[in-house]
Amino acid sequence: MMEGEWIPPQKPLFTVRICINKRLNTDRLPSCGGRGSRGLADALERQINEERIPATVTRGPCMNNCLNGPNLKIQGADYFNLQGDISEASIARIMEAVRAEAERRKAIAPAPDAVEP
């Protein structure tokens, strides 16, 4: 038996998709993975979990904007081109958008005990 409070997992309301593609770099062009998007995905996932925001982080392939990456998309909301800036300020800006999308979706979601007529 587990000690302490057990909190059941929430069903994710949306996904935050981040490109982690890393070029072989034979053409010497930047890529999201080469600009730190994998660490960014880890940081976002950690913060989303700590704040218990009902969202998932999905690491995905190229979003066709490598020159402006890392790139990420909040499902149904903002698209970010970070221009290589994965600073704490950028993470804070992204998390603000994630929180806003979570609140928006919670506001339009039906109540869990609502009965369909």
What pLDDT sits at residue 1? 43
* Residue ranges of domains in the chain, CATH in brackets: 14-104 (3.40.30.10)
Q: What is the tens place of the pLDDT at every residue in 70-114?
A: 999 999 999 999 999 999 999 999 999 999 999 999 888 766 665
Could you give the residue ranges of the DSSP H alpha helices within the chain? Answer: 37-50, 88-108
Q: What is the rounded distance in angstroms from the CA atom of residue 56 to the CA atom of residue 15? A: 5
Cis peptide, bond prior to residue 12, ω within 30 of zero: no
Q: What is the rounded distance in angstroms from the CA atom of residue 89 to the CA atom of residue 18? A: 17
Name the one residue in this structure whose structure tokens are 């930047």. 30
